[in-house]
């Protein structure tokens, strides 16, 4: 059974993302552990892909760096295996459908089960095509995380009806990336989603400041931070660990102020 619910049991959940293999698989393990030490409740690990259509330039470049260091799906599974030896924090993989298809659905989700991967996010898989992998993922106890965008309002009930893990609400139209201001009127959207959903609701895309984290935490069950962490890795490279810890801790402290 997925451990995702554990991430939301002690107040508001902070979800942190990085791209596996940026700059190396070994450093990704260190950075994940630093995020957890700083207070992250759930880890999203991106599997690098050559055409990450939902990502902005920051995570695109992280994918390029990771692929340049010969990061493969098998190496990502090895990363999860090593992390799992040290922590039981819920882990969700973020990938595109092509790497999963190319690896083989049964082999991919079998590995997820064996390594206690709790869920998967596939941004380029429309809700209507979820059935392609739903049975296999369910058989291996892997939650498929449903995404809801600002344009999805008329489909909220349909998307949330049988959703598992948590609902990922996209804060802004466009691709991932740090935003100085979240311009979407999130309050009515989140009210509608939380009314319909039977599971926790987290918000991602563009969130980077303590103020944004605090404000969104008042509306949602969790906050997802990705590009801001990846920017720290881009800036400090192999020495990013301590900076990731300090940044994540500042976000978690801000969330605890309103929990």
Question: Tens digits of per-residue pLDDT, 208-222?
Answer: 899 999 999 999 999
SS3 call for 227: helix
Mean pLDDT along residues 56-62? 89
Q: 54-58, 168-172, 192-196, 241-245: which has the minimum mean pLDDT? A: 54-58
Query: To the nearest whole number, what is the mean pLDDT of the chain?
Result: 91
The whole-number pLDDT of residue 259 equals 53
At 14, is the pLDDT very low, low, confident or very high (cuts 50, 70, 90)? very high
The string of DSSP letters for 41-55 reads SEEEEEPP-S--TT-
Interatomic CA distance for residues 163 and 165, integer angstroms: 7
At 257, is the pLDDT very low, low, confident or very high (cuts 50, 70, 90)? low
Question: 224 phi and psi, to 5 degrees?
Answer: -110, 125
The whole-number pLDDT of residue 172 equals 61
β-sheet with 13-19: strand ranges across: 143-144, 119-121, 91-94, 42-46, 13-19, 222-225, 201-204, 167-170, 146-148
The whole-number pLDDT of residue 258 equals 67
Does 184 have pLDDT greater than 60?
no
Q: Which two tokens stand for residue 125?
A: 């898989």
The DSSP H or E segment spanning 243 is helix 241-256
| Helical ranges in 69-152 per DSSP H | 73-84, 97-103, 105-114, 131-139
Interatomic CA distance for residues 130 and 132, integer angstroms: 5
Interatomic CA distance for residues 73 and 50, integer angstroms: 13
């Amino acid at each position: 059974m997925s451990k995702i619910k554990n991430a939301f049991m002690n107040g508001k959940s902070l979800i942190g993302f990085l791209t596996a293999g940026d700059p190396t698989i070994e450093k990704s393990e260190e950075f994940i552990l630093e995020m957890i030490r700083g207070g992250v409740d759930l880890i999203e690990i991106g599997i690098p892909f050559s055409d990450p259509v939902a990502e902005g330039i920051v995570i695109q470049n992280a994918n390029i760096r990771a692929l340049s260091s010969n990061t493969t799906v098998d190496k990502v599974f090895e990363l999860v295996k090593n992390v799992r030896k040290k922590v039981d924090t819920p882990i969700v993989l973020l990938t595109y459908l092509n790497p999963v298809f190319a690896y083989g659905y049964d082999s991919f989700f079998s590995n997820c089960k064996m390594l206690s991967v709790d869920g998967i996010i596939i941004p380029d898989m429309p809700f209507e095509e979820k059935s392609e992998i739903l049975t296999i993922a369910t058989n291996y106890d892997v939650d498929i995380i449903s995404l809801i965008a600002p344009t999805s309002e008329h489909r909220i009930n349909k998307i949330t009806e049988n959703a598992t893990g948590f609902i990922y609400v996209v804060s802004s139209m466009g691709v991932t990336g740090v935003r100085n201001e979240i311009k979407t009127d999130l309050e009515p959207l989140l009210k509608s989603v939380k009314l319909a959903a039977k599971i926790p609701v987290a918000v991602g895309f563009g969130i980077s400041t303590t103020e944004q984290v605090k404000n969104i935490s008042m509306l949602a069950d969790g906050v997802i931070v990705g590009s801001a962490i990846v920017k720290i890795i881009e800036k400090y490279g192999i020495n990013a660990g301590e900076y990731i810890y300090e940044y994540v801790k500042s976000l978690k402290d801000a969330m605890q102020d309103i929990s």
